[in-house]
């Protein structure tokens, strides 16, 4: 049974709807479900799954879509009743004097007049307007929303610069301000290292490795991935540099991003020359020529950035990146693969971790393809049909339209794992797991049974299948790092101490 309902002017935030969609899809007898706002992208998704109607085609961005394809009417009714229940307002009786949740930034400012930061997550067409209101009220902004035009982004960042306020984003998913994690962030000890990142999981990885190496983080500021484009000009990275240079709690500064536009890089390096503190720069896949004439310390990996920063902060690092136990086991397992098993597949939840793995692995393997690749010869043309060595960022829009991000709902990756297990040329599957605020309570727990099933598929065909994993998390994260690690280890998965090391383990097995 297929049915699509449109509810005019019924707005819900995307995280709520993604979570709800996943719960509906998990019901027995539900074949497909799309519960989302009627944006252009979501209406296109409806067509792709054959749930679009004339009414949905004409729906407005403010309208809610509830589209369900079920095996029968009873299942449909069960699903729609659950939708109704989960979307129902939680009307709690308010006690005398209890503060009512504000509906607008202006209302919030009246209730919390000492607030200095607003996190904004609304549809892209409204995000710039709300961010502008926040700036006008003297608030720093973390703009989680995407689909904001470059023109609006630049104007917002210019406004923030003029007012001495941060504008983190659009599409900024990670920050830690005064040791408070925002959106997707790990819990780390407070310290004297400030980080500015134009990438989410890249920022997380540096934070995590600093913590593991004995250091601590003063501030972790996200700029949004487009800040270093020529159209934006690195406004927020430069303003963040100035802020950390003035911050008494910050003694060392780390910059993390993919390579900036050439003109933007010059502006950043000019600003770095004015900073009176040590600066570590990690431009993943950057050009080593950029080191010439700079007073910064350049590194080309996330672990290296963390290690350099910790040592500059005055702490001698004792922990080694190399995990001898895993490399010894990798050498043993190498002999269990047959001669056809020459390839690896990386199934990543973190986009920057996927990009870093590509930068490490290309030194030892030819013809790697990825949906995050910038080099023309490495770009994956078809995310559904491919062969050879492939690295996939499953958090890209092409995988997540109408669905939650795999860091929120790791079960979305399970189908991909089983698909790769059926490819007789695959010897190694590389996985990442992100802990911390915003991430699933046990992404390892959700995945481990599928790892077992994948091995059984290979075994039935007379093959062995090797899994390599990295957990981006700390002993302070809510998910319990040691338990997640022990579950993987007991399942026979090779565990790396860093994302870089995970790529090196793949090389040790297959090169």
- The pLDDT assigned to 399 comes to 84
Name the percent of the chain in helix, strand, coil, to the closest 5.
40, 20, 40
CA-CA distance, 75 to 180, in Å (whole number)? 43
CATH of the domain at 125: 3.40.50.720
Is residue 109 assigned to a domain?
A: yes
- The pLDDT assigned to 97 comes to 53
Q: How many domains, in total, are found in the chain?
A: 4
Q: Are residues 127 and 217 in the same domain?
A: no
Residues spanned by the domain of 235: 172-318
Is residue 95 assigned to a domain?
A: no
- Of 87, 110, 130, the domain-final residue: 87
Is residue 423 assigned to a domain?
A: yes
Is residue 451 assigned to a domain?
A: yes
Residue 243, SS3 per DSSP: helix
Q: Are residues 228 and 306 in the same domain?
A: yes
- The pLDDT assigned to 291 comes to 65
Q: Is the peptide bond before 199 cis (omega within 30 degrees of 0)?
A: no
Which residues, in sequence order, are bridge partners of residue 37?
64
Q: Are residues 231 and 105 in the same domain?
A: no
- The pLDDT assigned to 119 comes to 93
- Of 87, 122, 137, the domain-final residue: 87
Q: Are residues 355 and 394 in the same domain?
A: yes
Give the C-alpha distances (Å, rounded to integers) separating 439 from 14, 113, 163, 182, 257: 15, 30, 33, 12, 22
Q: Are residues 163 and 189 in the same domain?
A: no
Q: Are residues 293 and 336 in the same domain?
A: no
Strand locations in 133-179 (E): 140-143, 167-168, 174-177
CA-CA distance, 282 to 291, in Å (whole number)? 11
CB-CB contact of 457 with 421 (8 Å): yes
Q: Which residues of the chain have pLDDT under 50?
A: none
pTM > 0.75: yes
CATH of the domain at 61: 3.30.70
DSSP 185: B
């Amino acid at each position: 049974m297929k049915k699509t309902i449109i509810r005019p002017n019924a707005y819900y935030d995307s995280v709520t709807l993604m979570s709800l969609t996943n719960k509906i899809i998990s019901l027995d007898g539900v074949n497909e479900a799309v519960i989302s706002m009627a944006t252009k992208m979501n209406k296109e998704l409806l067509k792709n799954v054959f749930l679009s109607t004339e009414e949905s085609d004409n729906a407005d961005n403010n309208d809610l879509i509830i589209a369900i394809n079920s095996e029968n009417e009873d299942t449909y009714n069960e699903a729609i009743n659950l939708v109704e229940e989960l979307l129902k307002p939680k009307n709690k009786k308010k006690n005398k004097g209890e503060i009512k949740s504000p509906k607008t930034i202006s209302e919030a400012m009246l209730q919390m007049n000492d607030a200095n930061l607003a996190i904004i997550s609304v549809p892209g067409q409204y995000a710039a307007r709300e961010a502008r209101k926040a700036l006008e009220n003297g608030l720093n902004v973390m703009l989680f929303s995407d689909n904001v035009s470059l023109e609006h982004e630049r104007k917002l960042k210019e406004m923030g610069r003029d007012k001495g306020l941060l504008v983190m984003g659009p599409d900024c998913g990670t920050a830690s301000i005064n040791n408070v994690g925002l959106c997707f962030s790990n819990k780390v000890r407070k310290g004297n290292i400030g980080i500015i990142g134009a990438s989410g999981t890249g920022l997380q990885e540096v934070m995590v490795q600093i913590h593991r190496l004995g250091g601590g983080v003063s501030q972790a500021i996200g700029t949004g991935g487009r800040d270093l484009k020529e159209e934006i000009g690195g406004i927020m990275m430069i303003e963040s540099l100035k802020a950390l240079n003035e911050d008494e709690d910050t003694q060392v500064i780390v910059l993390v991003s993919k390579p900036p536009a050439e003109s933007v890089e010059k502006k950043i390096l000019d600003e770095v020359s004015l900073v009176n503190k040590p600066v570590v720069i990690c431009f993943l896949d950057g050009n080593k020529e950029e080191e010439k004439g700079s007073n910064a310390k350049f590194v080309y990996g996330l672990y290296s950035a963390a290690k350099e920063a910790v040592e500059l902060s005055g702490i001698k690092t004792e922990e080694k990146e190399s995990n001898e136990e895993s490399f010894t086991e990798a050498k043993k397992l190498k002999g269990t693969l047959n001669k056809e098993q020459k390839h690896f597949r990386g199934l990543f939840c973190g986009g920057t971790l996927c990009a870093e793995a590509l930068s490490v692995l290309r030194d030892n393997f030819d013809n790697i393809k990825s949906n995050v690749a910038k080099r023309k010869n490495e770009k994956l043309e078809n995310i559904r049909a491919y062969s050879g060595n492939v690295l996939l960022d499953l958090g890209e829009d092409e995988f997540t339209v109408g669905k939650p991000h795999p860091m929120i709902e790791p079960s979305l990756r399970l189908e991909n794992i089983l698909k790769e297990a059926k490819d007789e040329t695959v010897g190694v599957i590389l996985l990442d797991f992100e802990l911390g605020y915003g991430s699933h309570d046990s992404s390892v727990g959700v995945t481990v049974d599928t790892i077992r099933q994948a091995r059984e598929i290979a075994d039935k065909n007379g093959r062995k299948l090797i899994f390599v994993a990295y957990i981006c998390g700390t002993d302070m994260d809510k998910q319990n790092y040691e338990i997640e690690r022990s579950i993987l280890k007991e399942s026979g998965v090779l565990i790396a101490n860093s994302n870089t090391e995970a790529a090196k383990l793949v090389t040790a097995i297959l090169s």
